[in-house]
Amino acid sequence: MTAEHHGQHGHHELGWWRKYVFSTDHKVIGVQYAVTALFFLFFGFCLMMIMRWQLAYPGRPLPLIGGLFGEANMPGGIMLPEFYNSLGAMHGTIMVFLGVVPMVVGGFGNYVMPLQIGAPDMSFPKLNMVSYWVYFVGGVVMLTSFFVPGGAANSGWTSYAPLSVIATMGQTMWLLGMVFLITSSLLGSVNFIVTIIQLRAKGLTMFRLPFFVWAQFVTAFLLLLAFPPLEAAAVLQLMDRVAGTSFFIPAGLVVSGQVLPTDNLPQTGGGNPLLWQHLFWFLAHPEVYVLILPGMGIVTEVIANNTRKPVWGYRTMVYALVFLGFMSFIVWAHHMFITGMGTTLSAFFATTTMIISIPSVVILTALLITLHRASIRFTTPMLFALAFLPMFAVGGLTGLPLGLPAADIPLHDTYYVIAHFHYVVAPGTIFAIFAGIYYWFPKVTGRTFDPFLGKIHFWLSLVFINIVFAPMFWVGMAGVSRRLYDQTVYAHGLAVQPAVELSSWAAWLLGLAQIPFIINFFMSIRKGRTVSDNPWEGTTLEWVAPSPPPHGNFASVPVVYRGPYEYSVPGSAREFFPQNVVAEA
């Protein structure tokens, strides 16, 4: 890398559009991703808060805002089942594909990763811009689907065929939206991998990479290889809906008394609904790790920085991470134990599922042991990062009974499953996201946030999010299925209804608990105290760049001399060694 690569500081100023809207700067794009994703996270959260009313008080008109949703959805404020299903499907879709993934990969990955590897930008800046705007279009398509006749997709975020094939027009929009989102992720992942391989600063070997970069690296590979099958599946389902094919529709279906008109069925016996599930879960299981790995990366950064010591067993963690990524491709069918799977197949997938739990345990343990003999600073990001550990532990552990086929029979598709994966993603990844926001906020804005509001936000969120999800374990144990518009029609559902009501109230309070964050966020951007380049006294390269980093990131090309987390090095005057500092003899 030679000097002229950094000549751009003298560059003529770009126009407003090129600078903030159609920018090719990874930092601007990162912020664009993050802001859009935060919007979608909030939107998806709102959908859920509306659903929670129907769950808590089935068939009772939604007070105050009930009238706003139109006669087709909520006549007299009473939610109709079809609208409930739409909300459920879109909550899942938006949270996963429009919220969390764009946030942790598009947002944090885009902004932080190039800084941490000492690169001036991503390898393909224009491609980077394209992937954001493709994602944006996908998001718009998803949102508009609420306004088409029949409402948004209502076959669940898993869109199981044939239900999704005979569903209303919203499903077509969903598929189109997915094609956009998938394309965006593919372009992004190519960009990430190339950047990490090609643009690392001099001396930054793979085993000197911050764990966050490793997480992004593995995640990118998951996206790259797992998403295309879903794209294929989406294309096939589109054909089924639009071109009259029947990839997922078996012969002789009788829908509401009418034999489903499908021309080809006599000739070939039609399609296979399991095909969709295999293609879908082949993506969607790695997708789970796409949701959690970057979260682990963020948490590791924050913990290393706030324990003021190197993370324990860095290499072990990296190996565990890679192994996790690899294994995640051969566990998908544990979502399908009760689709009529035989003994052999289930044994295989149960085994791989048990195996994949080990590396997660390893990473968690490593992070825990890191706390040992640390000097823990309880900063706001650290609080979120610390909370991540037990929350993720709950989420991970409760995966065990679901991974054991016999135990899965009673628990499958009950609230137990909901509680399980929400513990992984909500107090897990979402807390990691908050940790990341608070941790890198000074770098991005050059200002500090208000720690007091931050702590309020943390404690309220921690309490309420647990009251939301913990009861669901008991509701699930009692055998209540998920995706029920009104569980009180069942004796076992009515018996645990109070727990559902409790969850709802906690959910709404959790919504209120985000107010301090929102206020903090916007006020600190404008009024926050300006800070130095390295307010957290971090060692990784992003803290070497100015805050906020200029176009091209680094004043001078950083050269790396050591591992990522050189804190409290014995027999040395300074408490921490940034990676680019020459060791004093």
Partner 1 sequence: MNRFVAKVLFTVGACLASGAPLWAQDTGVIKGKIVFKGDPAAYSRVEIDTSKDPNCGKDGKKIGTENVVLNKKTTPVTVRNVLVSIKEGLGDRKYTAPTDKVVLDQKGCHYEPHVLALMEGQPLTIRNSDDTNHNIHFLPKVNEEVNVTQPQKGMEKDVKLVKEDVFKVKCDVHPWMGCHIAVFTHPFFFVTKEEGTFELKNVPPGKYKVEAWHETFGTLSMDVEVATGATVEKDLTFEPK
Partner 2 sequence: MSAETLPYTVHPHPITGVYSGKLGTWLFLASEVMLFGALFSSYVLLRVSAAHWPGHDETHLSVPIGTFNTLVLIVSSVTMVMAWASLKMNEFAKARWYLAATVVLALVFLLVKLFFEYMPKWEHGHRPGFSSFFALYYTLTGLHALHIIGGIIVITYFLLPGSALWKKDPEYYTNRIECTGLYWHFVDLVWIFLFPVLYLM
Partner 3 sequence: MKFAAVATVVLAGWCVWASPALGQQADAPSTVGVTITGDYGYGFPPDASEHGHEMDRLIVIVHWFMGVLFVGWGVFFAYCLVRFRRRPGHQAGYDMIKAKPSKYAELGVAVFEGVLLISFSMPAWTKAKSPPDPATAVNIRVVAEQFAWNFHYPGKDGKFGKTDPKHIDTAINAVGVDRSGEGKDDVISGELHVPVGEAVICQISSKDVIHSFGVPVLRVKQDAMPGMRIPVWFKAVKTGTYEVACAQLCGNNHYKMKALIVIEPRDQYDAWLEKKGAPPKEFEEE
Residues 319-358 that bind partner 3 (CB under 8 A): 338-340, 342-343, 346-347, 350-351, 354, 357-358
Residues in 144-183 that interact with partner 3 by CB under 8 A: 155-156, 160, 162-163, 166
Report if residue 322 touches partner 2, rule: CB under 8 A: no
The least distance separating partner 1 from the CB of residue 252, rounded to whole angstroms, comes to 17
Q: Which does 1 bind (CB under 5 to 8 A by kind): partner 2, partner 1, partner 3, none?
A: partner 2
| The one among 33, 40, 180, 247 contacting partner 2 by CB under 8 A | 247
Report if residue 282 touches partner 2, rule: CB under 8 A: yes
Tokens of 468: 């939301």
What is the maximum alpha-carbon separation in the chain?
85
Please return the burial class of 78, using the count of CB atoms within 10 Å of its CB with bins 0-12, 13-18 and 19+: middle
C-alpha–C-alpha distance, residues 392 and 388, integer Å: 6
Q: Which does 196 bind (CB under 5 to 8 A by kind): partner 1, partner 2, partner 3, none?
A: none
The least distance separating partner 1 from the CB of residue 174, rounded to whole angstroms, comes to 18
C-alpha–C-alpha distance, residues 82 and 150, integer Å: 9
Report if residue 224 touches partner 2, rule: CB under 8 A: yes
Q: Which does 78 bind (CB under 5 to 8 A by kind): partner 1, partner 2, partner 3, none?
A: partner 1
Nearer to partner 3, 10 or 340 (CB): 340
Report if residue 490 touches partner 3, rule: CB under 8 A: yes
Kindly give, in sequence order, each residue whose CB lies less than 8 Å from that of residue 270, ignoring residues fewer than 6 positions away.
Answer: 246, 249, 250, 251, 252, 262, 264
Residues in 287-346 that interact with partner 1 by CB under 8 A: none
The least distance separating partner 1 from the CB of residue 83, rounded to whole angstroms, comes to 9
Which of the ranges 190-198, 254-262, 382-390, 551-559 carries the binding residues for partner 1, by CB under 8 A?
254-262
Nearer to partner 2, 235 or 515 (CB): 235
Of residues 335, 322, 321, the one with CA closest to residue 282: 335
CB-based contact 111:444 (threshold 8 Å):
yes
Tokens of 93: 């879709």
Q: Which does 10 bind (CB under 5 to 8 A by kind): partner 2, partner 1, partner 3, none?
A: none
Report if residue 13 touches partner 2, rule: CB under 8 A: no
Nearer to partner 3, 128 or 246 (CB): 246
Nearer to partner 1, 34 or 165 (CB): 165
Size of interface with partner 3, in residues (CB under 8 A): 125
Q: Which does 508 bind (CB under 5 to 8 A by kind): partner 3, partner 2, partner 1, none?
A: partner 3
Cα→Cα distances 379→116, 307, 384, 449, Å: 21, 11, 9, 11
CA angle 154, 479, 288 (to 5 degrees): 55
Please return the burial class of 190, using the count of CB atoms within 10 Å of its CB with bins 0-12, 13-18 and 19+: middle
Nearer to partner 3, 165 or 545 (CB): 165
Report if residue 474 touches partner 3, rule: CB under 8 A: yes
Which of the ranges 208-216, 253-261, 328-336, 441-449 carries the binding residues for partner 1, by CB under 8 A?
253-261
CA angle 191, 316, 300 (to 5 degrees): 60
Q: Which does 405 bind (CB under 5 to 8 A by kind): partner 1, partner 2, partner 3, none?
A: partner 3
Where would I find the H helices in 16-169?
Answer: 16, 26-56, 81-93, 101, 110-116, 125-144
Residues in 483-502 that interact with partner 1 by CB under 8 A: 485-486
DSSP state of 19: I
Q: Which does 301 bind (CB under 5 to 8 A by kind): partner 1, partner 2, partner 3, none?
A: none
What three-state secondary structure class fits 556? coil
φ, ψ (nearest 5 deg) of residue 255: -100, 120
| The one among 66, 67, 75, 310 contacting partner 1 by CB under 8 A | 75
Strand partners, 447: 530
Report if residue 390 touches partner 1, rule: CB under 8 A: no
Cβ neighbours, 10 Å, residue 192? 27
Tokens of 183: 């394309």
C-alpha–C-alpha distance, residues 129 and 498, integer Å: 48
Report if residue 176 touches partner 2, rule: CB under 8 A: no
Report if residue 389 touches partner 3, rule: CB under 8 A: yes
Number of alpha carbons in the 13 Å side-chain half-sphere of residue 6: 14
Chain residues binding partner 2 by CB under 8 A are 1, 4-5, 7-8, 24-25, 120-121, 123-127, 186, 189-191, 193-194, 197-199, 224-229, 231-233, 235-236, 239, 243-247, 262-264, 267-272, 275, 278-279, 282, 551-552
